Amino acid sequence: MDWRQRAGREPHIAGIRRSFRDLEAEQQQLLQTKQIDAERTAGDWVRLLAPLAAYDAEADKLRSRLGGWMLGIGIGGFILAIIAVAINPIAGAAIAVAVIIAELVLLPNYRFTKKLDVNRTPLEFITGVAPILREDCSDDGSLHLRLDMRGAIMNEKETGKSQPYSRGRYYRIIDTYYMDPWCAGGAAFVDGTQVQWIATDYVRSQRKTKRNPRGKVKTKTKNKKKTNLDVIVTFTDKLYDTAEGTSGPDRQLKKAKVKDGGPDSKTVVRTRRTIKSPSAQTALDPRHLVDMIAASYERVKPTRRKKLAG
Amino acid sequence: MTTLDMCACKRGFFTLRDCGNPATTSCQLCTRRVCDQHLAPRVDTRVCVECSAKQEEGQTPGAQPGQQAAAGAAGAAAAQPHSPAQQQAAARAALGQPDVADEDAVLSREYPYRYRRRYYSDWGYYPWWWGTYDPYYNDYGYRYFDDDDDDDGGGFGDS
């Protein structure tokens, strides 16, 4: 069955391994390494990444379901086994064995999906933005991308840890900070403009502990994410020059810097936008990158009349 | 003057330029000559991707905020997305972005044209024009090179 047909269906335990096998060798490898640094056409990027996004969505759905089942079977089986032991020890033992078998059947599938889980944000971002950038690149124009789909919460990406502090009912709070540059890319447009961007997530993971009135210790972890999107657009001096002002609406940029070395040198526009997300899982809307490139084009003006095609 | 039968569609998002491909057919809506790449995937009609985007503009929620407001508060509340993922999906749909799992839709030639049209009107962007003049794009509000010396011989200057 085609992955596209499966994408809309409810996930199936046996089907997830088949879905993985249906992916091409490069896609399977990418799910394992979770990183890629390559140059290819926008269409090729979408063809590579869109099936991965569909697979990961299916696997995530299945894993959360498996987790629920395993927890339910574990708790329900434990209670049932205790009751059954009181009535008939053999029945109790049979229930316990059945529960263990069920858990052993579900666990490998859970681990399989967990091992191949990727951060879907880069996949969704690129599949949204690549077809748009393709329009400004020539047919054989390529996109250079460096994607990291491992997620932000990992030791390698940790940038700092706060000293334990208390606030309100929480007597111990530790903040851990992570920096995750998950997508860097570059493209050359037909009009000679060069676009480079980097999207970096800054995650604050707050682990806080409190004691409830019954004396029970409870700990919870909250993640907050802020994404910085930095874009550098370099305009060729043959076609563009710096404009006196900005011609578009306020695009809510945190930083917008125009470097103009004179009439015969390139105009470089650097922009930054900060996007706050309620959770670490929220994907970045491709419109942010489109907005920032648009804002750069609003800071230049053409220097001559010319017809471009193709 | 160009005598070649070239595609009338404009390529590009931030700037607009001529397609450059030879035309193979005519759009049944705008009657312009277009190439195979700029033909929307329709079964029974031949429509260019730009006319298709124009047609679809009014069909997706978010494309015409006025219509959405008129839909009624009750209906709007029922359809309101709650989770961040739902809100994001709604925002993507409003800009004409397809579901990421639908590779055909993402790779479709129509998608960037649909997105382009929505983005220009919703986010106030005027692309730079590097193509041949075509009155079809008059409602786009594009920007072009304005040569100050153009009105040299206008006849309204000092005598």
The chain B residue lying nearest A300, using CA atoms, is B128
Query: What is each CA distance from B45 to B11, B28, B53, B113, B118, in whole angstroms?
Result: 22, 7, 15, 18, 23
User: B43 phi and psi, to 5 degrees?
Assistant: -85, -50
Which residues of chain B are within 8 Å of residue A187 when distances are taken between CB atoms? none
| pTM exceeds 0.90, yes or no | no
A83-131 pLDDT, tens digit per residue, is 998 888 888 899 999 999 999 988 988 898 888 899 988 998 998 899 8
Helices (H), chain A: 3-7, 13-22, 25-33, 42-87, 89-115, 121-136, 287-297
Tell me if B17 and A307 make a contact (CB, 8 A cut-off).
Answer: yes
Q: Which residue of B has its CA nearest to A284?
A: B88
pLDDT of residue A310: 75
Helix, strand counts (H, E) of chain B: 6, 5
**Residue of A41, A120, A135, A251 to mutate, interface with B, max B Cβ within 10 Å:** A135
Residues of A in contact with B13 (CB under 8 A): 132-133, 135-136, 290
Q: Minimal Cα distance from A192: which residue of B?
A: B15
B58-69 confidence digits (pLDDT tens): 664 443 333 333
Residues of B in contact with A135 (CB under 8 A): 11-13, 112, 116
ipTM of the complex, rounded to two decimals? 0.82
Q: How confident is the model at residue B41 (pLDDT cuts 50, 70, 90)?
A: confident
A47 and B147 within 8 Å at the Cβ level: the answer is no
Helix (H) / strand (E) containing A202? strand A194-211
Q: Look at residue A11 in the predicted model and tell me its pLDDT.
A: 65
Provide the pLDDT for residue B57.
Answer: 74
What is the CB-side half-sphere exposure of residue A222 using CA atoms within 13 A? 7
Nearest beta carbon to residue B91 from set A133, A191, A285: A285
Q: State the Rg of chain B over Cα.
A: 20
Tokens of A194: 């060069």
pLDDT at residue A9 above 80? Answer: no
Neighbouring-strand partners of residue B39:
B48
A–B CB contacts, 8 A cutoff, strictly below: 132
Tell me the shortest Cα–Cα distance from A121 to chain B, in angstroms.
Answer: 11
